[in-house]
Structure 1
């Protein structure tokens, strides 16, 4: 399991160049089915556009693709894909929608327009790194609940599901590189009275990036 940079949420940005309207849309995606669904939705939401130029990169299988969608070869999809590659972003789909304004831009102008729209879009997008985390379950008495939550927040350790029965059960997400620190801290803090149980692992943002 390796960390990688991705997009956390969808966003849009647009500009007008020589009367043509360029609308950039980015979506987080994790597989080809999500890519196709997002492309379908964009065509529905932005009907009658002249071009739907797009590029995507999927971390699973290291897949990437771009398309010019009728623009001269290499003037649309390639500049958009370059933005994703340069920023090393995975699991993201960028679509640049063009409503033609009647003025031909030429190959150089199209490359700058599509690439520039994608760059401006990603400058404003919510981007961050997914990092391997261990998931621990902690079971403790109710008097431990508030102190634990307080210190988890101070250490920027994200919490997950909670269950309140005879005791409190809660999940905490610990970055792999902080695993030893977490175990030593908890043993000292709870005077060995709380033993965390590792229940899995996942990729997620550092909690201070949420």
Structure 2
């Protein structure tokens, strides 16, 4: 599995150009249904706006869609999609709402405004680098848990996803697939071999 980039979270940004207000909202999505639900949510929230331009790109099946929503052809949806593509972002949707200010911007002005609004929203959201990872869990005693934390702090290949506290500390972790054997060996060494691992499958995690 290859890595990819996506949005770190939802965000929005606002741009005013010749009295027209452009509000771009971005959100991580993993399916086309999620992207369309996000669009419907914004359209309902901003029903009084003249345009709700959208673009989304889904990693699975390489889906990419966009709409100018009444703006001149090629001036809104595609520049919004390009703002995602220029950062290499997938599994993301962007909806830019325009409140018309009474002054025509021309095709070049529209392209710049929609591009800039989307780029600003992406910057606000942040970009997450996702890598192919193996997930696993293990349980240690409370006295040993600080050693696990210390190893995770100094090892970029190991990430603690969450913990559960009971009779011991159950750690749910991830490691880059190629680094998994070395990571688990390092954990065994740090804990004197007093550890066993449960496989949690394969997937992606931010690195």
Q: TM-score, normalised by structure 1?
A: 0.89
Please tell me whether residue 31 in structure 1 is matched to residue 31 in structure 2: yes
1:1-210 to structure 2, matched below 5 A, reads 1-156=1-156, 157-162=159-164, 164-165=166-167, 167-206=168-207
Aligned residues: 205
Q: Secondary structure at the match of 2:102?
A: coil
Q: Is the 8 A contact 2:13 2:25 kept in 1?
A: yes
Q: Distance in 2 between matches of 1:121 and 1:159?
A: 27
| Cα offset, 1:163, TM superposition | 5.0
| Cα offset, 1:143, TM superposition | 3.0
| Cα offset, 1:58, TM superposition | 0.4
Q: Distance in 2 between matches of 1:61 and 1:54?
A: 19
Q: Distance in 2 between matches of 1:159 and 1:93?
A: 25
Q: Is the 8 A contact 1:160 1:173 kept in 2?
A: no
Q: Is the 8 A contact 1:8 1:128 kept in 2?
A: yes
| Cα offset, 1:17, TM superposition | 0.9
Q: Distance in 2 between matches of 1:70 and 1:64?
A: 19
Q: Distance in 1 between matches of 2:109 and 2:160?
A: 46
| Cα offset, 1:38, TM superposition | 0.8
| Cα offset, 1:126, TM superposition | 1.6
Q: Call closer, same or farther: CA 1:44–1:102 in 2, change over 3 Å.
A: same
Q: Secondary structure at the match of 1:61?
A: helix
Q: Is the 8 A contact 2:54 2:66 kept in 1?
A: yes
Q: Call closer, same or farther: CA 1:170–1:181 in 2, change over 3 Å.
A: same
Q: Call closer, same or farther: CA 1:109–1:181 in 2, change over 3 Å.
A: same
Residue segments in structure 2 that go unaligned for 5+ positions in a row: none
